[in-house]
């Protein structure tokens, strides 16, 4: 079956056979970077580079000709940059997946955040200046291939095209399944006192949808781990504040939790909540990575469980890997309410999927129903 045949018969979960390869177009204004990215990708037997392009205009022409499943898209290019290309690409080729390739600079990070909020699936960082060291090559290759493997499910069958939008379900169609009240330290289940969110791949877009839906008088503090490096988390917090009724800030040591404040874990730091004389505060550390992550969702969730017991709403959104699984298990045993995003609306159903598979979730919900069900959980 040809690629065109697959496109014609595609459903929202179209798959390629095990013998097929993910078709990739590499877009970068540097010929050196293009060659290096091609070398990275062609080291994997299930990835086929079908072409390269030097800028956005060139890329759009070649997408028409080559029908890639994925585009790796440089952020900063002449004539038509990555963000401009992405916006046109999503209108003309909405099923093509996009991974941004960002330089680790203020400009690169800023445009990358805007691209993620505009619908790019993920990003990788590269060294600035058109050169990649041997160690940098290996890190970028590992990161890029890992993300392609998650998006296209290379270990099983490839999910080539983005899922079609899922119509929002009504509360009646997807009610929160109330957990059986549990006891913790001899006390009955109590009303929640904090909302804790874990998210990774596809997270900026997901957060940009749910946070603006949370009312300004939301009565709980909100803490979030989004897997991202330094600089990116600061810029993400700024963008989310501009979109939301709540103030989103990057976490700092000693920052006090209070109703309606949204605290985002800073890149390269684990974030915990701790009880102190001044109230419940944020504590940061650079302990070893967990689940190959820092910040890690498990670190945050464990600390939330220690401070709040079961008086927690824990939400796990789209993301690769299984960060958050162990922390969720602890919270579930204490009687917390656990909500996870469903497969149809997730960019990658890794983190929420393992929680659902472990039967720890009280509800598995489309993204549009996460906030309505969080609000329901306020009343036990």
C-beta separation of 286 from 267 below 8 A: no
Place of tokens 């803490």: 223
Vertex 123: Cα angle to 26 and 95 (nearest 5): 65
Q: Is 200 a catalytic residue?
A: yes
Catalytic (active site) residue 323? yes
Determine the Cα–Cα distance for residues 365 and 369; give it in Å rounded to an integer.
6
* Two structure tokens written together for 380: 């036990």
* Terminal-to-terminal C-alpha distance of the chain: 53
Reply yes or no on whether 227 is catalytic: yes
Annotated active-site residue in 30, 103, 200, 303: 200
Residue of 298, 323, 342, 362 with catalytic role: 323
Q: Which of 227, 298, 303, 346 is catalytic?
A: 227
If you write DSSP's letter for every residue of 28-53 in order, what string do you get? -S-HHHHHHHHHHHHTSTTEEEEEEE
The C-alpha atoms of residue 206 and residue 233 are separated, in whole angstroms, by 15
Of the candidates 342, 327, 362, 353, the one whose C-alpha atom is nearest the C-alpha of residue 156 is 353
Cα separation of 255 and 276, whole Å? 11
Active site residue ranges: 200, 227, 323
């Amino acid at each position: 079956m040809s690629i065109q045949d697959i496109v014609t018969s595609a459903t929202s979960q179209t798959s390629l056979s095990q013998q097929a390869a993910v078709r990739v177009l590499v877009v970068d204004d540097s010929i050196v970077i293009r060659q290096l990215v091609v070398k990275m990708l062609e080291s994997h037997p299930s990835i086929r580079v079908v072409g390269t392009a030097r800028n956005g205009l060139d890329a759009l022409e070649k997408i028409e000709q080559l029908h890639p499943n994925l585009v790796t898209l440089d952020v900063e290019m002449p004539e038509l940059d990555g963000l401009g290309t992405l916006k046109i690409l999503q209108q003309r080729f909405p099923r093509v997946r996009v991974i941004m390739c960002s330089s680790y600079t203020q400009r690169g990070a800023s445009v990358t955040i805007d691209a993620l909020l505009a619908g790019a699936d993920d990003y990788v960082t590269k060294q600035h200046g058109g050169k990649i060291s041997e160690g940098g090559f290996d890190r970028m290759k590992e990161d890029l291939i890992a993300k392609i493997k998650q998006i296209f499910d290379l270990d099983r069958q490839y999910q080539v095209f983005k899922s079609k939008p899922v119509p929002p379900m009504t509360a009646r169609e997807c009610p929160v399944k109330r957990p059986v009240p549990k006891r913790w330290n001899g006390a009955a289940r109590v009303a929640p006192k904090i909302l804790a969110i874990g998210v990774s791949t596809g997270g900026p877009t997901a957060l940009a949808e749910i946070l603006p839906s949370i009312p300004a008088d939301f009565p709980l503090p909100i803490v979030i781990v989004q897997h991202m490096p330094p600089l990116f988390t600061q810029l993400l917090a700024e963008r989310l504040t501009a979109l939301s009724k709540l103030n989103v800030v990057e976490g700092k040591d000693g920052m006090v939790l209070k109703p309606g404040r949204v605290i985002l874990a800073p890149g390269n730091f684990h974030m915990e909540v701790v009880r102190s004389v001044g109230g419940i505060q944020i504590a940061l550390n650079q302990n070893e990575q967990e689940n190959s992550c820092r910040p890690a969702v498990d670190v945050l969730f464990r600390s939330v469980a220690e401070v709040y017991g079961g008086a927690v709403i824990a939400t796990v959104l789209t993301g690769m890997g299984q960060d958050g699984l162990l922390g969720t298990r602890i919270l579930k045993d204490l009687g917390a309410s656990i909500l996870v995003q469903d497969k149809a609306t997730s960019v990658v159903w890794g983190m929420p999927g393992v929680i659902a598979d472990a039967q720890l979730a009280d509800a598995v919900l489309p993204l549009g129903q996460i906030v309505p069900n969080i609000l329901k959980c306020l009343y036990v």
